[in-house]
Amino acid sequence: MFGNIAAVKQLSLSVPEKCVYGFLGPNGAGKTTTIRALLGLIKPTEGKISIFGKLMPEEKIPILWNIGAIVEDAALYLHSTGYDNLRISQIILKCDRSRIDEVLQLVDLERDANRPVRQYSTGMKQRLALARALLGKPELLILDEPTNGLDPAGIQEIRNLIKAFPQQFGVTVFLSSHLLSEIEQIADYVGIVKDGALVFEGKLEDLKGRFSSYVKLCTDDNGQARNILEKHGFAFPPSDSPEALSVQLRSKEDAPRIVNILVNNNISIFHVSQEARSLENIFLSLTTPTL
């Protein structure tokens, strides 16, 4: 809770192992708050946080041994060299010193390791932060908007790195972003959050399949039409406009069936059209407030 506003409520995320999970939502949806709570940086006003089957913050230290994270921005010691930045984490994480060279090589920073970080570009800083997050061989990597502030080339570099992590290191990546295009290119699974609550979770294909094909109806009584169709087992994706009723199609036969049902129930239909939505439209319809 921040004041009277619940930033996150009843959120249960199922993140499959060794995949990239995209945690998507508009600004202010509660993504960063969720990540902070998962990392024990903030305490919930009510309820419990469970991760790896352990309770946060009660079992914070054992949980954090299995997590590598970048919270919001790279957060590096600018006066120190890249190597020393990693050395600080390596000492605390008790891992082998040779691991520093391994992760530096992975993010292609070996040659710049002895330069002060203040001389690094934003992309290099972000890569160094990724290297630091990987240092302790975590099971779960939590990355909060890792491409923020990067140029297109930097974004591409980070994307390619992240995409390879699950297969290369067997790590699960939990990636938050407000950019659908980014998640679309990296993630296997997606969780969409709006006003602190989960509105969709599953594979990206499921998201497309569930919400992409629908009919848009304008009738003399949309409320009544909705009630009737609901009884016939139809689902209603969030509508783009308040005057129209959107009905989810499960097969191509559904469109004429919907018309028949409504006509048989004396509902006048002024407009009917079959529509397909882009992933972006699906995301917008799920996350923007309906009128």
Partner 1 sequence: MKRLLLAECVKMKRTLVLALAVLVPLVLCCIACFPRIRVGMYDPSATDGWTTMFSESLGMWAVMIGPAFIALQTALASNIEKSNRMYAQMYCLPVPRWHVFLAKFVIVSGVIALSQALLLLFAVVSGLIIRWLRLRPEFVWTAFGAKFEKAATSSISCFVLCLFMIAIYSYMSERWKNMLVVLGVGIIAPLILTNFIFHRVMIVTMPWLLHFNSLWGYLRNPSLLALKQNLWIPHMVSVLGAIVVLLLGCKLVEERDVLS
Residue of the chain from 62, 170, 209, 256 that contacts partner 1 (CB under 8 A): 62
Q: Would you state the structure tokens that stand for residue 105, as one six-digit string?
A: 């090589």
Residue of the chain from 14, 17, 58, 77 that contacts partner 1 (CB under 8 A): 77
Q: Would you state the structure tokens that stand for residue 197, as one six-digit string?
A: 């609550």
Whether the CB-CB separation of 169 and 133 falls below 8 Å is answered with: no
What is the C-alpha to C-alpha distance for residues 191 and 28, in angstroms, rounded to an integer?
15
Residues between 241 and 280 with contacts to partner 1, criterion CB under 8 A = none
Mark the segment that binds partner 1 (CB under 8 A) among 63-71, 95-103, 164-172, 255-263: 63-71
Residues between 92 and 151 with contacts to partner 1, criterion CB under 8 A = 92-94, 116
Q: How many residues bind partner 1 (CB under 8 A)?
A: 31
Q: 61 or 291, CB closer to partner 1?
A: 61
Closest separation between CB of residue 268 and partner 1, Å? 54
Closest separation between CB of residue 47 and partner 1, Å? 15
Whether the CB-CB separation of 237 and 279 falls below 8 Å is answered with: no
Mark the segment that binds partner 1 (CB under 8 A) among 90-98, 163-171, 188-196, 264-272: 90-98
Residue of the chain from 73, 102, 139, 275 that contacts partner 1 (CB under 8 A): 73
Residue 34 binds partner 1 (CB under 8 A) = no
Closest separation between CB of residue 24 and partner 1, Å? 20
What is the C-alpha to C-alpha distance for residues 56 and 43, in angstroms, rounded to an integer?
8
What is the dihedral angle through the alpha carbons of 198, 199, 204, 210, rounded to the nearest 10 degrees? 150
Closest separation between CB of residue 27 and partner 1, Å? 13
Residue 55 binds partner 1 (CB under 8 A) = no
Closest separation between CB of residue 15 and partner 1, Å? 18
Residue 195 binds partner 1 (CB under 8 A) = no
Judged by the rule CB under 8 A, the positions of this chain that interact with partner 1 are: 32, 36, 39-43, 61-62, 64-65, 67, 69-73, 75, 77-80, 84, 87-89, 91-94, 116
